[in-house]
């Protein structure tokens, strides 16, 4: 079900397993002008969510914010053929089967003043097939003072299964709003990361919504800053 978080912003969550871990997955929905809805990191939806969408607006923008959150783009497009798919550079090569309408670009403002976005540069992660760039866009919804991210931070807590909690402690993301050890280890362009973090900290946000983990509602800006302090210290 869609759950209202604040004025003109909702989320929906569902179970999701990655490498055998239950990490959950979350999409964020923003109401823009003229009741247009932007869906960030879409999940698989059912009839209940479809009915809720009808109540709050019209799905016009389907957004893949990085190279990994693309599984349900085509499903959304089939349900909402009038909507446009926005994706990061590189996804078209990775998923040529998906009909991408627009590539996210810092020089364009597709969503107007209600939803800012910009590229988080420099962050990489280790996967089974080696090092991979996240190539992630982050979003700032000024009306609700919410920062919306996907995989640049995690925040697992006691609400997750035992194995997920154990692994998140090993990776340094248990009850901490920060990138995992894999991102910190895999990232070489630390100056680009530092500049991206500074750009985020210029925004007046009090909440962070991420794709995997528990939403941070209190003191989110300071927690985000602390999570990236190893990049902000500029000792590299």
CB 123 within 8 Å of CB 144: no
Average pLDDT over residues 99-121: 90
> Which is more confident, 209 or 108?
209
Dihedral sign of CA atoms 13, 201, 89, 17 in order: negative
The rounded radius of gyration (Å) of the Cα atoms in the chain is 17
pLDDT band at 166; cut points 50, 70, 90: very high
In total, the chain counts a number of residues equal to 236
What share of the chain has pLDDT > 70, as a percent? 97
Q: Is the pLDDT of residue 235 over 90?
A: no
Least confident of 10-19, 58-67, 101-110: 101-110
Phi-psi region of 18 (alpha: psi -120 to 50; beta: other; left: phi over 0): beta
Phi-psi region of 131 (alpha: psi -120 to 50; beta: other; left: phi over 0): beta
- The 10s digit of each residue's pLDDT in 119-130 is 999 998 876 566
List helix spans (H) across 63-161.
73-79, 91-94
List helix spans (H) across 24-178.
47-56, 73-79, 91-94, 162-171
> Which is more confident, 221 or 114?
221
> Which is more confident, 183 or 209?
209
Q: Which domains does the chain have, with CATH numbers?
A: 3-100+114-232 (3.60.15.10)
- The 10s digit of each residue's pLDDT in 31-53 is 999 999 999 999 999 999 999 99
Instruction: Kindly state the DSSP code that residue 16 receives in the 8-state scheme.
Output: -
- The 10s digit of each residue's pLDDT in 54-73 is 999 999 999 999 999 999 99
Q: Is the pLDDT of residue 131 over 80?
A: no
Q: Is the pLDDT of residue 15 over 80?
A: yes
For residue 222, give the H/E element and its range.
helix 220-227
pTM, two decimals, is 0.94
CB 151 within 8 Å of CB 134: yes
Closest CA to 39 of 139, 179, 143, 113: 139
């Amino acid at each position: 079900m869609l759950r209202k978080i604040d004025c003109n912003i909702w989320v929906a969550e569902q179970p999701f397993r990655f490498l055998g871990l239950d990490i959950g997955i979350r999409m964020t929905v923003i109401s823009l002008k003229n009741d247009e809805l932007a869906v960030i990191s879409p999940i698989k939806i059912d009839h209940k969510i479809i009915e809720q969408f009808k109540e709050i607006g019209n799905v016009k923008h389907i957004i893949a914010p990085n190279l990994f959150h693309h599984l349900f783009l085509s499903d959304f497009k089939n349900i909402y053929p009038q909507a446009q798919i926005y994706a990061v550079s590189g996804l078209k090569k990775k998923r040529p089967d998906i009909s991408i309408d627009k590539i996210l670009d810092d020089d364009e403002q597709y969503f107007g003043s209600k939803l800012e976005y910009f590229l988080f540069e420099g962050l990489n992660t280790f996967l089974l097939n080696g090092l991979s760039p996240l190539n992630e866009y982050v979003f700032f919804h000024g009306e609700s003072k919410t920062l919306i991210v996907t995989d640049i931070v995690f925040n697992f807590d006691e609400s997750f299964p035992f194995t997920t909690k154990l692994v998140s402690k090993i990776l340094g993301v248990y009850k901490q709003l920060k990138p995992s050890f894999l991102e910190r280890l895999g990232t070489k362009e630390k100056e680009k990361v530092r500049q991206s973090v500074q750009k985020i900290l210029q925004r007046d946000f009090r909440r962070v919504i991420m794709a995997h983990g528990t939403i941070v509602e209190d003191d989110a800006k300071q927690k985000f800053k602390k999570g990236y302090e190893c990049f902000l210290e500029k000792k590299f």
